[in-house]
Structure formats: C-alpha cells, structure tokens
Amino acid sequence: MVRSCMGSHEPLRVASVGSPWALAWILWLAMGWCGGVGQGAESTKDLLEGLRPRRGEPLEKQGPSVEPPADGAARTSLFGLTAEGFKFVYLFDRSGSMGGAPQAALRAVKAELRKSLENLDTVHQFQIIFYNERPVIFNPTGVQGRLAFANRQTKERALRFVETITAEGGTEHEEALKLAIRLRPDVIFVLTDGDDPKLNRQQLDRIQRLASGITIHAIEFGSGPPPRDPSFLATLAEENGGQYVYVDIAKLGRGPTRDK
C-alpha cells in the first residue's frame, strides 16, 4: 500500500503483482508523479512571488495585489508624516494667507496629494476638503458627505477637483475639522498656515472629544523658521495621537522640519 502524495489521507492501493520487478516499476511511477506535483507547487509559488507588491513602487502602478499588507491597511504620507489606515481625510486650508505664498502653497499641496493617493488601493477610502471661511468637499458620486473608494477613476476625479481650487478668503478651522471628523476616518491630515483665528483651549477640547480615537496629523505652512511659541497645531496633533510638522514654503524642495 502506497500513501497518496496529493495531501489526501486516502491510500493508493496496489493490486497484486506477478513479480517484484512489477512492484518496483509501480513505485517508480508513483515517485515520479509526486515529484511532478512538487515541481508544480514550486512553479505556483514563483508565480505568486511575481504578483506581490514591489517595494518602493506605488500600488497604483502595480494593479491589484494578491498579497496585501497583513491587515489590509494602507500606508501613506503627506509632507513626511506617515499614517496607516483604511479611511483618510485630507483637510487643506485654501485661505488667502497660506504662509504668505498661497499659490506656491497650493501647488505643493497638489503635488503631495497626488503622491499620497497613489499609495491607496481600491479597498481604501478617502475624502478631500478645502476650506477658508467655509469648506468645499470633493463630491464624486453626487451625494455629499461620503468617503470615496480609491479606485483609479475616483483618484483621477480627485486630482481634477484639486486643480479647480484657488486660494482666497479668511479661515475657519473648527467647522472644517468638525466636518472631517463627521466622516469618521481613521486618519485626518490637516494642513494650514495656522493663521488667525487660532483654535483656543475650549475648541481644542471639543475637537478631541469629537475625534474620539481618530488620528489627526497636522502640517503647518509658513515662511521662514518655525514659530518660537508652541503652535496650536502641534497641540492638536499631540492630543489626537498624531504628529506635527512645520514646512517653510521657501524651502519646499529641501523637505519639512519636524517638531522635536
């Protein structure tokens, strides 16, 4: 009796044979068959290896992956701040101040957003909000207030939406943050020059209470070195599990300056 090599517990029964040479021949065939199966499994392994995500190359350029991260979460970044999750909201200040160079700031935002969206796969969701005195939200489906799945078509629409945005008006931080929180993402990237009116202690407490577990990363645009006094944006990030970074618009090509 020879046990099957296909992973089954059913034995391979050998009928009575007329000579030891016949039995040896049958065993040789069985061993050759098992070897073929092993080679096929190895070939399949090699094939899957070629379909796994390639390090350093955005998922958008690789197509669907047969081996996503262990928990399926995306890992993406904005101006050096990295986050993991399934749902992301990008909240951008579009006021006329924006670090003293609003058009340069918007160009940088658009370029960074493009790179960040490339790291989201079709199972992930995102939303984009630009705000001054009032928010303007990306609306690819015609239904306001929803997160969008990060398929190729939606990403292309998002980039076209961003191209329509201009810098103008004043700033209203709290209402824009509340809108982002109502979408219940895993992560919010908020980017602003931190211009007045700044969030006070009472407002920061409200945001923390509403966010309730949502990670908020804060990026502050400015001109020149980081401010000496602690930024309310650094406090916002710290109190909501995120990180803070200051970006000098004049040195955008040299990389951001992290808060120590």
Is it the case that residue 183 has pLDDT exceeding 80? yes
Residue 169 lies in a domain: yes
The structure tokens 């040299």 sit at: 254
Q: Residue 257: pLDDT band by 50, 70, 90 thresholds?
A: low
Q: Greater confidence, 73 or 8?
A: 73
- Regarding whether 155 and 103 lie in a shared domain, the answer is yes
Is it the case that residue 158 has pLDDT exceeding 50? yes
Residue 60 lies in a domain: no
Q: What is the pLDDT of residue 103?
A: 75
Q: Residue 141: pLDDT band by 50, 70, 90 thresholds?
A: confident
Average pLDDT value for residue range 30-46: 41
Residue 242: give the domain boundaries. 66-258
- Regarding whether 121 and 16 lie in a shared domain, the answer is no
Q: What is the pLDDT of residue 258?
A: 57
Q: What is the pLDDT of residue 76?
A: 96
Question: Which distant-in-sequence residues (6+ apart) come within 8 Å of 183 by Cβ?
Answer: 87, 89, 127, 145, 146, 147
Residue 57 lies in a domain: no
Residue 38 lies in a domain: yes
- Regarding whether 208 and 167 lie in a shared domain, the answer is yes
Q: What is the pLDDT of residue 143?
A: 84
- Regarding whether 75 and 43 lie in a shared domain, the answer is no
- Regarding whether 202 and 107 lie in a shared domain, the answer is yes
Q: Greater confidence, 11 or 112?
A: 112
How many domains would you assign to the chain?
A: 2
Q: What is the pLDDT of residue 256?
A: 56
Q: Greater confidence, 168 or 50?
A: 168
Q: Report yes or no: 71 and 77 within 8 Å, Cβ to Cβ.
A: no
- Regarding whether 36 and 101 lie in a shared domain, the answer is no
Alpha carbons 155 and 153: distance in angstroms, whole number: 5
Q: What is the pLDDT of residue 152?
A: 95
Q: What is the pLDDT of residue 255?
A: 52
Among 25, 51, 77, give the residue marking a domain's end. Answer: 51
- Regarding whether 87 and 7 lie in a shared domain, the answer is no
The structure tokens 């040896």 sit at: 24
Residue 56 lies in a domain: no
> What mean pLDDT, rounded, does the chain reach?
78
Residue 189 lies in a domain: yes
Is it the case that residue 175 has pLDDT exceeding 60? yes
Kindly state the percentage of the chain with pLDDT values over 90: 51
Residue 59 lies in a domain: no
CATH number at residue 103: 3.40.50.410
pLDDT tens for 39-49 read: 443 333 333 33
- Regarding whether 125 and 27 lie in a shared domain, the answer is no
Q: Greater confidence, 99 or 33?
A: 99
- Rounded to 5°, angle at Cα 139 from 150 and 91: 75
Q: What is the pLDDT of residue 66?
A: 30
Residue 58 lies in a domain: no
- Regarding whether 75 and 24 lie in a shared domain, the answer is no
Average pLDDT value for residue range 138-153: 91
- Regarding whether 135 and 12 lie in a shared domain, the answer is no
Taking the whole predicted model, whether its pTM rises above 0.85 is answered as: no
- Regarding whether 120 and 20 lie in a shared domain, the answer is no
Q: Report yes or no: 202 and 208 within 8 Å, Cβ to Cβ.
A: no
- Regarding whether 223 and 161 lie in a shared domain, the answer is yes
Is it the case that residue 77 has pLDDT exceeding 60? yes
